[in-house]
Structure 1
């Protein structure tokens, strides 16, 4: 838990620094407008990718396949959407990487490894 708090503080400080640099480079108004536009684009992309993941999930269930990949994609879309809606250029880049289907397939193995570690350390229980 302590690592997440430190990551949040570090990321916030880094975002403030990037805001200051962007404001100095582009000006205050274009920087604020860019933040607003990326938030709006984030909402649109999240909705679009979320619907795609729901269709993928329904298709896998109807074909009697385990919906594991679709569920992982859903988590990526959720986290990516939250990151895109949050103001900040670094979080926007991370959120965009989670929303693009091509990059999600490179992120999935890390997510699976992290979930397996949680299960092995009994920090996550799977009920069947």
Structure 2
């Protein structure tokens, strides 16, 4: 737990240092524009990914398919949007691999789909009905003796 607290303090300080260095390199105005545009892109990406993911989940579930691929690509897209929303260079740099993972995972079939990894599938819909009753040991011996004659 102390490492997590340390990380929560370290990341904003590193982001601030990165923004100061970026401001010195390209200017304050361009740095502010960078922060504004990346934040707006993050918000737009979260909105777009959220609604698209809900719609694709409904389609997958309606066709009785696994929603895993939709959830996987949606997760990486939303995570990229959240990272873009935070002002800073480091979180923007971390958002790029997340965007690539979201884009790449869209073309891969989900487990259980044709071309995807095999998973356990449901059995058939055959139902075998029958009747049974619990018998004591003495009743079972009597039934065997009668059936053997």
Same fold (TM over 0.5): yes
Q: TM-score range by the shorter chain?
A: 0.5 to 0.7
**When you count helix as a share of all residues, which structure comes out higher?**
1
TM-score by length of 2: 0.59
Match of 1:75 in 2: 75
Aligned-pair Cα RMSD in Å: 2.2
Match of 1:48 in 2: 48
Q: Partners in 1 of 2:15 and 2:48 — Cα distance?
A: 27
Q: Partners in 1 of 2:28 and 2:56 — Cα distance?
A: 42
- Which is greater in Rg? 2
Match of 2:63 in 1: 63
Unaligned segments of structure 2, at least 5 residues: 107-149
Q: Partners in 1 of 2:2 and 2:61 — Cα distance?
A: 38
Q: Deviations over 1:37-85 (max 9, x none)?
A: 1111221222223333223212211111231232233332332222111
TM-score by length of 1: 0.67
Q: Partners in 2 of 1:33 and 1:78 — Cα distance?
A: 22
Unaligned segments of structure 1, at least 5 residues: 106-128
